[in-house]
Amino acid sequence: MNAIQKKIHDLHHNKRPLTMEPESIDRFWDETLLKFKDKPLEAEAVQRETFMAGVDAYHVTFQGYDDTPLKGWFLVPSFLQKETYPCLVCFPGYTADKGIPERHASWLLQGFAVFALDVRGQGGETGNNLDYDAGTSVGWITQNILDKERCYYMAITIDAFKAVDWVMSRPEVNKDKIAVMGGSQGGGLSLITGALHDSVSLIIADIPNMCYLDYGVLHSVGSLKEAADYVKRNPDRMSTVLDTLAHFDIMNLAHRIRVPVRMSAGLKDMVCWPETIFAAYNRIVSEKHIDVHPFSGHEVSEWQKRSHMRYLEAWKES
C-alpha cells in the first residue's frame, strides 16, 4: 500500500465522534422546520430572454428565512417538449452566485430543469435582511453566531429548504426527481437540505463545507476562518460558537440522509479538508459514493463534473 492509498484507507476508516446526540439534533430541527412549514414564499417568476434556443428562463424571487427577497434562475429545457423534467437545485460556493442562465447549459442539454440560487449577501443580486445585533468578523458566517436560531447558517439553511419548496410548486418539475447539488458551501447546503427536506431524492456535494465544523474552524483557510477569527477576539465565547455550529454540522445530521449521495474530496484541500468531508461521509447510511482526488485542492474538475453527468443520465431514467 503506497502513501496515497494509505491516506485514503485511513480516511475511510476514521469515524469521528459526534458533537451532538442524534436525539437532540433531531428535536432541534423538527421543531425548527415546523415553525417554517407554513411560511409563505411570496414568490414571483418573470420570464426573461436567454441566448439558449428552446429554453424557458424565469427570474425568480421568493422569501426563505425572513423577508429577504432571494433571487434565482429557473430554467426549463422546453425544446424537449416533455410534460415534466427532473430538476437540479444548484447552490453556489462561498462568495459566488447563481450566474447567468447560460452557465447552466450543460445540465439543460442533458434534459434537466435547473433552479440556480444566490446565497444571501454574497456575490449575486440577493441582499441580506438578517437582523444581527452584534459585531462580526469579516464575511458573513459570524452574523448572530452566538444564537443558533438566528445565525447566518440558520438563515441560509432555511433559504435552501424553501427553495426546494418552490421547486415542488412548479408544474414543469417531476416531483420524484429533485436533486440538490453544489460545491464547497454549495455542497454543504446540498447535504443539509437533503438531510432535512423529504422531497430531495439525490444529493451531489463536491468538496463540501459544513462538515466536522470544529475541525474546520481549527484548520480551514476558507470561510470557517471567520469563526476562528471571532473566537480569537472573543475566547470566552468559543463553546457557544462551537455549539451553534454543531447544529449545522453534516456529521451530526448524516443519520437523517436517506437518499443517494455523491461526494468528492481533494487531498490537498485546505479549505474543506478531506478529514472534515470523510467525517460526514463515513456516517451516511444511505447509498453513497465519493471520488477522491489525491492531487487536487479546493476545486471541482471537468472530470468530476462528467462523472456526475454519467450518474445523472442513469438516475433521471430510473
Is residue 156 in some structural domain? yes
Please indicate whether residue 269 is annotated as part of the active site. yes
Check 197, 293, 298, 308 and give the catalytic one. 298
Is residue 47 in some structural domain? no
Is residue 209 in some structural domain? yes
Q: Which residues contact 23 (CB under 8 A, 6 or more apart)?
A: none
| pLDDT, tens digit, 9 for 90 and up, residues 136-146 | 999 999 999 99
Q: How many of the other CB atoms lie within 10 Å of CB of 226? A: 22
Check 97, 269, 293, 308 and give the catalytic one. 269
Number of domains within the chain = 1
Q: How many of the other CB atoms lie within 10 Å of CB of 291? A: 16
Q: How many of the other CB atoms lie within 10 Å of CB of 78? A: 15
Identify which of 114, 116, 118, 119 has the alpha carbon closest to the alpha carbon of residue 177.
114
Name the 3-class secondary structure at 20. Answer: coil
Residue 282 has pLDDT above 90, yes or no: yes
pTM tops 0.95, yes or no? yes
Instruction: Give the Cα separation of 186 and 158 in Å (integer).
Output: 14
| pLDDT, tens digit, 9 for 90 and up, residues 144-195 | 999 999 999 999 999 999 999 999 999 999 999 999 999 999 999 999 999 9
Q: How many of the other CB atoms lie within 10 Å of CB of 21? A: 10
Q: What letter does residue 93 receive in the DSSP assignment?
A: P
pLDDT at 134: 85
Q: Which domain holds residue 295?
A: 3-41+84-94+107-113+128-317
Residue 1 has pLDDT above 90, yes or no: no
Check 97, 104, 137, 184 and give the catalytic one. 184
Instruction: Tell me whether residue 94 is annotated as binding.
Output: yes
Instruction: Give the Cα separation of 111 and 137 in Å (integer).
Output: 42
Residue 199 has pLDDT above 90, yes or no: yes
**Residue 69 confidence class, pLDDT cut points 50, 70, 90:** very high
Residue 133 has pLDDT above 90, yes or no: no
User: What is the chain's mean pLDDT, rounded?
Assistant: 97
Overall residue count recorded for the chain in this entry: 318
Is residue 305 in some structural domain? yes
Q: What letter does residue 141 receive in the DSSP assignment?
A: T
CATH code of the domain covering residue 162: 3.40.50.1820
The crossing angle, in degrees rounded to 10, of helices 238-246 and 225-233 is 150
Is residue 12 in some structural domain? yes
Amino acid at the residue 199: S
- In terms of Cβ atoms closer than 10 Å to its own Cβ (0-12, 13-18, 19+), residue 79 is middle
Is residue 55 in some structural domain? no
Is residue 56 in some structural domain? no
In the block, which residue shows the cell 441566448?
51
| pLDDT, tens digit, 9 for 90 and up, residues 70-118 | 999 999 999 999 999 999 999 999 999 999 999 999 999 999 999 999 9
Is residue 57 in some structural domain? no
pLDDT at 94: 98
